[in-house]
């Protein structure tokens, strides 16, 4: 058994009410590293193709990595995977805080949740002992209320990952929340948890992560923390949090405004990092073991929501509830963010869906009769707060918005799919690829759908931040699509997928080199011959496993496509004025990307030769049937 792992997984069958402990298979550890890699391996093996994401056959898998909970900098992350109710394909969320480290300290690397409980329950794991407990008294409670109730009755304070009313009511982009404000946000995994009537996973423990060479591990960790402490990125994030990048993206003309009708927000000074600091910041917050402290402890100090406090908003949230909805009211955006955390909703999908509803209302596709007589207009600060509550409770028009932009467009018609801003059903993050072409390729090749963090390609395009995990991550001209630069995206996706599997934060990827992580892996696990090449190969292996999972669900090249707005509607103003990412250019980029990946050009399925090269022979028969 390799060090860095606890060596045990819990399997919880909610239908039977049974809990079993099983050994982590050694053959999965080095092959898939941990986290998203091992979790996806289980999901592929155990969940049949075409499964109903909200049915009992779907499985919800929590998994940590070998660095999670160690002294390594910024290694607090854990992953959750399942079939997504929002996209119908592979779903993945990843969160920080300190739930992941506490799950390991409770004695386990991960938990596989299967079946569905007949009534509300929560899973308690304390010092290696697991039990299912009645949660009738918690059903209907917010995340904050749930944490307060469970922690008040505990002898040693546990850490929770729980759902709010959004997950209970099966909002298709419901989130799982830990530490009140940290979200497994994307893909609707909170709805999967709600469909299983599982209110929370509650962890507490004192076990330590065994390391092969603790002294070397501590020495390498101290050196890495020194790198992070000296970085410009750390200084910026400590001062302004992730909203530091708002001015940079707006200056490039790629800041989504009024549902992506523009890329420049004229009131950016009301919504940028400085505005957040001036208006709502109370203190900086950090995840377990993180020297960066990009989190924002905030409070609303005036107006109708004065006295409310919490964490955030982050950059994506500030844009989606702000400029994307035509709003320059930091208090309203902050309140909407608080409610998303309390009700358990993904802020990107929630804000984007509201912005889509605003444009549909503006165009007469969504009518007052459908909204219960309420105008849904760009610039209305009150409506974003109202709609978060309606969505979480599936009340009135919120029942339609709870389905996400893809399903909304299918139901509303009127040409609205052209400006339903999602890829494969997952709402897009706040970087307009018309102003940075390769970002569009990143959106369509990210396995879970419209996603920025898989390849983090916005870092070298909008933010001018190289990714040190990748030896060459320089994009010469973001407005000019160069097929050869797609290799940078491939390398970034692979390296950052390995980082996810290890349990590290993406910001480590911008500040540390692959050699640094390899030193940690070797001293943690005892894999003394683990190399930088193997580090990258592990990420490529996991990425291809996920792609085949999505292919098995029907995804092909034709599905790797952007909304029409980005391919046909030129940006009307700003530095990227007149720009689109047209279909021909996107297809040219996809040709180059698929060639680098070793995927078939016709359908975007990994070739048999590529699977053999990666040691994924177990997938070959499935691929041959596609």
Are 399 and 439 within one domain? no
Q: What CATH number should be reported for the domain holding residue 465?
A: 1.10.599.10
Q: Which residues contact 222 (CB under 8 A, 6 or more apart)?
A: none
Note whether 115 and 248 are same-domain residues: no
Domain-located, residue 211: no
Which of 381, 408, 426 represents a domain boundary (last residue)? 426
34: left (phi over 0), alpha (psi -120 to 50) or beta: left
Is 289 contained in some domain?
yes
Q: DSSP assignment of 214-281, as one string?
A: HHHHHHHHHHHHHHHHT-HHHHHHHHHGGGGGHHHHHHTT---BTTTTBS--TTGGGTSHHHHHHHTE
Same domain, 420 and 486: no
Per DSSP bridges, beta strands 110-114 and 90-95 are unpaired
CATH, residue 101: 3.60.9.10
pLDDT of 77 = 94
Would you say residue 2 lies in a domain? Answer: no
Spatial CA neighbour of 221 closest among 453, 4, 382, 445: 4
Do both 410 and 440 map to the same domain?
no
Residue pair 95/77 in contact by the 8 Å Cβ criterion: yes
CA–CA separation, 119 vs 116, rounded Å?
9
**CATH number of the domain enclosing 361:** 1.10.569.10
- Look at residue 468 in the predicted model and tell me its pLDDT: 83
Question: What is the pLDDT at residue 2?
Answer: 75
Tally of structural domains, the chain: 3
Tell me, yes or no, whether 269 lies in a domain.
yes
Q: Are residues 190 and 52 in the same domain?
A: yes
Task: Please tell me the distance from the alpha carbon of residue 176 to that of residue 167, in angstroms, as a whole number.
Answer: 8
Regarding whether 612 and 486 lie in a shared domain, the answer is yes
Q: Are residues 459 and 414 in the same domain?
A: no
Cα dihedral sign, 263-267-271-274: positive
Whether 237 is in a domain gets the answer no
Q: Can you give the pLDDT at residue 611?
A: 98
Q: Point out the domain boundary residue: 384, 399, 426.
A: 426
Are residue 421 and residue 439 in the same domain, yes or no?
Answer: no
In a domain? residue 553: yes
**Which residue carries 């801003």 as its tokens?**
421
Do 390 and 439 belong together in one domain?
Answer: no
Residues 146 and 19 reside in one and the same domain: yes
> Exposed, middle or buried by CB within 10 Å (0-12, 13-18, 19+), for 313?
buried
Contact between 428 and 442 under an 8 Å Cβ cutoff? The reply is: no
Among 398, 426, 454, residue at a domain's last position: 426
Separation of alpha carbons 571 and 257, rounded Å: 11
- Domain with 261 in it: 242-426
Which residues of the chain are under the pLDDT cut of 70? Answer: 1
In this prediction, residue 1 carries a pLDDT of 59
| Residue 532 domain-assigned (yes or no) | yes
Q: Is residue 574 part of a domain?
A: no
Q: Tokens in use for 555?
A: 């995804």
Coil/strand/helix, residue 111: strand
């Amino acid at each position: 058994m390799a060090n860095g792992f606890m060596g045990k997984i819990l399997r919880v069958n909610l239908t039977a009410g049974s809990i079993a402990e099983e050994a982590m298979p050694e053959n999965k550890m080095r092959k898939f590293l941990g986290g998203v890699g091992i979790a996806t391996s289980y999901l592929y093996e155990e969940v049949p193709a075409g499964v109903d994401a909200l049915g009992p056959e779907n499985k919800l898998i929590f998994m940590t990595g070998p660095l999670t909970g160690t002294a390594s900098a910024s290694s607090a992350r854990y992953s959750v995977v399942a079939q997504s109710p929002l996209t119908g394909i592979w779903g993945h969320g990843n969160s920080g805080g300190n739930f992941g480290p506490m799950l390991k300290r409770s004695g386990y690397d991960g938990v596989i949740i299967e079946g569905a409980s007949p009534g509300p329950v929560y899973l308690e794991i304390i010092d290696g002992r697991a039990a299912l407990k009645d949660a009738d008294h918690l059903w209907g409670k917010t995340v904050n209320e749930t944490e307060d109730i469970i922690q008040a009755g505990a002898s040693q304070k546990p850490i929770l990952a729980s759902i709010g009313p959004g997950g209970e009511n099966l909002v298709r982009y419901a989130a799982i929340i830990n530490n009140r404000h940290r979200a497994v946000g994307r893909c609707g995994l909170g709805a999967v948890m709600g469909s299983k009537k599982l209110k929370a996973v509650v962890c507490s423990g004192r076990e330590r992560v065994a390391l092969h060479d603790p002294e070397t591990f501590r020495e390498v960790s101290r050196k890495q923390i020194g790198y992070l402490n000296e970085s410009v990125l750390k200084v910026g994030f400590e001062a302004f949090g992730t909203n530091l990048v708002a001015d940079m993206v707006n200056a490039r003309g790629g800041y989504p405004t009024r549902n992506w009708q523009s890329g420049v927000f004229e009131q950016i000074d009301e919504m940028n990092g400085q505005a957040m600091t001036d208006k709502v910041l109370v203190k900086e917050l950090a995840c377990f073991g993180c020297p960066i402290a990009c989190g924002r402890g905030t409070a609303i100090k005036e107006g109708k929501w004065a006295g409310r406090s919490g964490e955030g908003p982050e950059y994506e949230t500030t844009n989606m509830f702000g400029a994307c909805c035509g709003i320059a009211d930091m208090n309203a955006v902050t309140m909407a963010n608080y409610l998303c955390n309390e009700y358990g909703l993904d802020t990107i999908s929630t804000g984007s869906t509201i912005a889509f509803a605003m444009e549909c209302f503006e165009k007469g596709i969504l009518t007052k009769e459908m909204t219960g007589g309420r105008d849904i207009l760009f610039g209305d600060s009150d409506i974003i707060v109202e709609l978060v509550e309606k969505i979480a409770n599936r009340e009135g028009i919120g029942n339609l918005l709870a389905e996400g932009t893809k399903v909304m467009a299918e139901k509303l018609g009127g040409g609205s799919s052209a400006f339903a801003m999602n890829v494969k059903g997952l709402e897009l993050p706040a970087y307009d690829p018309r102003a940075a072409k390769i970002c569009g390729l990143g959106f369509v090749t990210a396995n879970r759908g419209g996603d920025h963090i898989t390849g983090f390609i916005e870092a070298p395009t909008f933010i001018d931040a190289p990714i040190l995990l990748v030896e060459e991550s320089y994009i010469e001209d973001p407005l000019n699509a160069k097929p050869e630069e797609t290799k940078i995206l491939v390398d970034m996706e692979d390296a950052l997928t390995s980082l996810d599997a290890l349990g590290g934060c993406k910001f480590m990827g911008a500040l540390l080199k692959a050699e640094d992580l390899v030193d940690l892996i070797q001293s943690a696990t005892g894999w003394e011959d683990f190399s930088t090449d193997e580090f990258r190969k592990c990420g490529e292996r996991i990425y291809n496993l996920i792609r085949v999972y999505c292919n098995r669900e029907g995804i092909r090249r034709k599905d790797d496509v952007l909304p029409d707005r980005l391919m046909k509607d030129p940006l009307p103003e700003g530095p990227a004025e007149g720009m689109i990412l047209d279909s021909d250019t996107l297809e040219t980029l996809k040709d180059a990307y698929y060639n680098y990946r070793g995927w078939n050009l016709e359908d975007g399925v990994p070739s048999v030769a590529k699977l053999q090269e990666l040691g994924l022979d177990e997938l070959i028969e499935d691929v041959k049937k596609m």
